[in-house]
Structures are given as C-alpha cells and as structure tokens.
Amino acid sequence: MEFKVHATDTATGARTGTLSTAHGEIATPVFMPVATRGAVRALTNRDIDELGFDMILANTYHLYLRPGADALARAGGLHRFMRFDRAILTDSGGFQVFSLSNLCTVREEGVEFRSHIDGSRHLFTPRLVLDAQRAIGSDIMMVLDECIHYPATEAQARGALEKTVAWARDSHGYWRERFDTGRQALFAITQGGVYEHLRRECIERLLELDVSGYAIGGLSVGEPKELYRAMTELTLGLLPAHKPRYMMGVGSPLEILYAVSRGVDMFDCVMPTRIARNGTLYTDAGRINIKTARFADDDGPIDAGCPCYVCRTFSRAYLRHIFRAGEIAALIYNTYHNLSFMKRLMDRIAASIAGGSFGALMREYERAYAPGGGDTGGD
C-alpha cells in the first residue's frame, strides 16, 4: 500500500492524500461506513456503491465468530462474499472482545473470551487475528491491541501498553514473513490511556516497526473532551507525516473536522448510521430529529444542500410519517441520507484543504453544530 500527501493546509495540520490499495485508490481524508458483519445496517451494498464510498470497515471479531474465518476463506474472502470490489479495512477484533464478549481474560499471549453469541471459548492471539484478516482478505489489517476503559490507573495503562507493543512486534514480524505485504497492509495502534508519558513511549516503541500506518486507539472511550483533544494533539505530533493516520471510532462532524485539522486521514464510526435509525439527521445547518411535530406539514427536503436520492425525492413530512409508522423504509432513507452527508462532508473537507478555505469550512460547521446552536433536536 502506498500513501501520498497532496495538499496541506498551512494554518492547521489538515492534509489531503491518496491511499493506494489492492482495491483501488482512496482519497483522504476518508470516512469509512461500518459494515460490521459485511453489511452496513439498513443499507444494501448497492447503496454503498451509489453513495460513492471507496472503503468500508468490517469487524474481525464478528466475522470470525460468524460465519467464521474458514467459511470466508472458502467463499473467496469478504470482497467476493459480499460482492464489494473496493477497499475493506478490518479492525483486529480487540475492541469488541473487550466490550462485547463475556469473561474476557488478558494473558501474555493474547485475550481469552467467550463468544457473546453462544458462549464458546476463544483465544485471540496477534497471529490468529492476522490469519482471520487474511481469510477476510482485507486491504488494511489492524494489529491486536489491549484497549482499556476510562478511567484506568497508570498501572493498568502501563500493562496494556506493554502488551500492545509486544503484540504489535509479533504481528509485524508475522506479517513481514507470511503475508503479501503489498496486498494486505498492516496498521499499528497507539495506546497509553490519558497518560502523556505512556502515549509518548507507546508511539516511540511502535515507530521502530515499519508498518503501513498508525491508528490512534483508546480515545473517545468516555474521557473528558479536553483530555481527548490533548492526547490527540500529542499523538499526532509524534506520528510520521508520510504515513496514514487513522482515528478509530470517531465520527461526529465537529470531531472529524477537529481531527482533520490535527492531520488525521481516516475515520470510521457507527454514529451516523446509529442516530439515523433513531430519527436524527445531519444537515448543513445542524442536526434535526425527523420525529418532531414541526415537520408534520414540512414539504421541504431534509437538507436542501444535499444531492442525495432521499433529499431529491422525499419531504420531511413524509419521512416523519413513515418513521412514526414504523416502516423499515424510514430507517433505510435516514441512513442513506446521513451517509450521503458524511461523504459530502469529507468531499467538502478535501476541496477546502486544496483550495485554502479549510478554516472557513470548520467555522461554518462549528456554528451549525455548536452545543445549543442550530437544531440539535435530541437523539
């Protein structure tokens, strides 16, 4: 995988670039819709194509448990299985093991857990999760890391850091030895909790590995915004400029704009699709909730500036009606629009960086999405 930086915003660290993967070129900054089990919830893969997404994220933990790595290998990998010919990034499954599974025990060699589906026992090691990602055939694979909750003591953060670094080293060696490194890229994940010296040490040790890119992990897990931002800033200041930087699990418009301004290139998040299923929709003027009574006779689109099929076709009144009536189509249309908003946001970000107006774009969304400003409408 190759990564090229094109334009950099002089006032901030924002940049545009291209990731060249085995399944095509991806313009960055990029937002990846989350297709946890090989499908974006409430959308068809045809919708994803139509919306123009060049890369999606799938979850190793879920796919490993069902349908299983062997089934995916027999099907020819996830691209072929789901008939998606653009890029796929897979996480290592670590985050889901820590958050979803039962009786998760961290050992030197990996993480033991019980499946949240049937209670069966499994041990994720750095090599096993890479083998699973090989079966999936993802273009970008993530190393196994240990995620800690917030708050965590310094000793807990230190323990997680040691395992994260040791597992990244083992993953890196295994990848260099046994993988087609040109076809399947490998990203390391920086940890360290909210301890500045641990974040710094983790990055310094991970920089010894020649991985394809770096993810910023263990943030946005409940820590105060100031700490999140301080850790983001610190991490980005230490990562090499010529490699892609991926902020895991962050997806609100303002947080994306902030992270882009610090030099982040890649994002994924379930939030745009999750809130859509609850009736919350993004617009250029802020968030709205389609359930509210004031849309009962509103013949206008969700967002007049949005070129998507839903905004070109349906009124707010109709979308409110079918949502309240419990129609499945309401979830589909809402999700479709929110992902269209995300795609357009990323396109506008890239154009503004290239055109020298990124700061102005950031201020535009800060006004629309300020707490208490615009129409937050509730989730």
DSSP, residue by residue, 150-208:
SS--HHHHHHHHHHHHHHHHHHHHHHHHHS-TTTSEEEEEE--TT-HHHHHHHHHHHTT
What order do you get walking across the sheet with 121-124 strand by strand?
102-106, 111-114, 121-124
d(CA 245, CA 267) in angstroms, rounded, equals: 9
Closer Cβ to Zn ion, 307 or 372, answer by number? 307
**For residue 254, what are the contacts with CB-CB under 8 A and spacing of at least 6?**
365, 366, 369
d(CA 229, CA 350) in angstroms, rounded, equals: 22
Largest CA distance in the chain: 63
Closer Cβ to Zn ion, 273 or 340, answer by number? 340
CB of 310 to Zn ion, least distance (A): 5
CB of 324 to Zn ion, least distance (A): 20
Residue 179: what are its φ and ψ, rounded to 5°? Answer: -120, 155
Known catalytic residue at 379: no
How many amino acids of this chain bind Zn ion (CB under 5 A)?
Answer: 6
Closer Cβ to Zn ion, 144 or 308, answer by number? 308
Residue of 9, 47, 91, 303 marked active site: 91
Residue of 145, 268, 284, 303 marked active site: 268
CB of 21 to Zn ion, least distance (A): 28
Binding mask 299-328 toward Zn ion (x if CB under 5 A, else -) reads -------x-x-xx-----------------
Q: Are the CB atoms for 341 and 282 separated by under 8 Å?
A: yes
Q: Are the CB atoms for 171 and 186 separated by under 8 Å?
A: yes
d(CA 314, CA 299) in angstroms, rounded, equals: 8
CB of 94 to Zn ion, least distance (A): 34
* Contact set for Zn ion, span 327-346 (CB under 5 A): 337, 340
Known catalytic residue at 54: no
* Contact set for Zn ion, span 186-245 (CB under 5 A): none
Closer Cβ to Zn ion, 290 or 306, answer by number? 306
CB of 173 to Zn ion, least distance (A): 46
| Catalytic sites, residue numbers | 91, 268
> Which residues in this chain contact Zn ion in the complex, by CB under 5 A?
306, 308, 310-311, 337, 340
